[in-house]
Amino acid sequence: MERLIGRYGKFGAAKTFLIFAGVHGNEKLGIQALQELFDEFEERKVDFEGTILGIACNLPALQQEVRFIHKDLNRQWYLSKIRKLGALPYGMLNSSEDIEQKHILDLVLDIVHDKGKELMLIDLHTTSAKGGCFSITNNHPRSRELALQIPVPVINGMVGKIKGTTLEYFDELGLPAIAYEAGQHTEQEAVQRMKAGLVSIFTNTSCLGSKELLPYQHVLDKMKKDFQHLPKDVHVTHLQDITEEDEFVMRPGYINFQPVKEGEHLADDKYGPIYCPSDGLILMPLYQKKGNDGFFIVKKVD
């Protein structure tokens, strides 16, 4: 697998989309979606007023189909750490994810610091739980505008709850970024949703002519229908932070956006039962071994 999935567009243009896939190695569908999208653009020779750079992030974890090898690559994006990684040679790095992060930074740092570029990050993910898909924004006002081009719930308030995410990195750089959770890890429909969501963003930012949306419009229409029962805007109120030593086990059957009540028995760990801290909707209940987030509670924004 290549680190650079593809590059497309007019390279002098200001608008630049940095698209990350496979930050978590058990989430391969983002790679497939980008490969297909680059092929479709090449084949139709679409005119793109901007640049897209698609990057496969955690290659060793993707090869082994695990979330990460030594540590979660989506918890490593601190400015102080990035500065250190820039200065240290590869031979001095002893964690697989540090090496991966340095490779990614080698590819993107020039663009990230190019003030002439209008840079946006879209980070493609899938979830272990069933039930819908959603986008997550950082605090930059443009992020919400980008997210609203995909007909799925928009989650805000995540930056600050989870530390060291790609979204937080872009937040600290003063740049817009969204994560797009397009379905379950093995759900092929997620590939179609990723492609359609990306093209919707590209057309709505005038990088693509509106006719380029036509081949993907049926997917967006189906998403509108499939997710119309979900709230458009939600805010994160709680993160159940866990470590491997906690032996966290989510109780079975929870799906994304399922309503939960304060006091509901949601999970167990070696310290006993874990009860829901407040009424709300559950998001990303953890049904896989690796991960630092047991579940999130979100509330609809009126």
How far apart, in whole angstroms, are the C-alpha atoms of residue 32 and residue 37?
8
**185 counts as binding Zn ion under rule CB under 5 A:** no
Binding window for Zn ion (CB under 5 A); candidates: 8-16, 19-27, 212-220, 226-234: 19-27
Q: Which of 125, 140, 185, 195 binds Zn ion (CB under 5 A)?
A: 125
Q: Under rule CB under 5 A, which residues in 196-255 are in contact with Zn ion? A: none
Site track 77-116 with Zn ion (rule: CB under 5 A), x = hit? ----------------------------------------
Tell me the helix, strand and coil percentages in the chain, rounded to 5: 35, 25, 40
Least distance between Zn ion and beta carbon 264 (Å): 25
Least distance between Zn ion and beta carbon 83 (Å): 25
Least distance between Zn ion and beta carbon 180 (Å): 10
Secondary structure letter of residue 185 according to DSSP: T
Least distance between Zn ion and beta carbon 292 (Å): 12
Size of the site for Zn ion (CB under 5 A): 3
Cα dihedral: 186, 60, 125, 259 (round 10): 70
How far apart, in whole angstroms, are the C-alpha atoms of residue 231 and residue 282?
12
**24 counts as binding Zn ion under rule CB under 5 A:** yes
DSSP per-residue string spanning 77-144:
--HHHHHHHHHS-GGG--SHHHHHHHHHHHHHHHHHT-TTSEEEEEEEEEESS-S--EEEE-SSHHHH
Q: Between residues 102 and 125, which has the closer beta carbon with respect to Zn ion?
A: 125
Binding window for Zn ion (CB under 5 A); candidates: 27-35, 160-168, 169-177, 216-224: 27-35
Q: Between residues 9 and 197, which has the closer beta carbon with respect to Zn ion?
A: 197
How far apart, in whole angstroms, are the C-alpha atoms of residue 226 and residue 50?
31
Least distance between Zn ion and beta carbon 182 (Å): 10
For 45, the token pair is 């020779």
Binding interface with Zn ion (CB under 5 A): 24, 27, 125
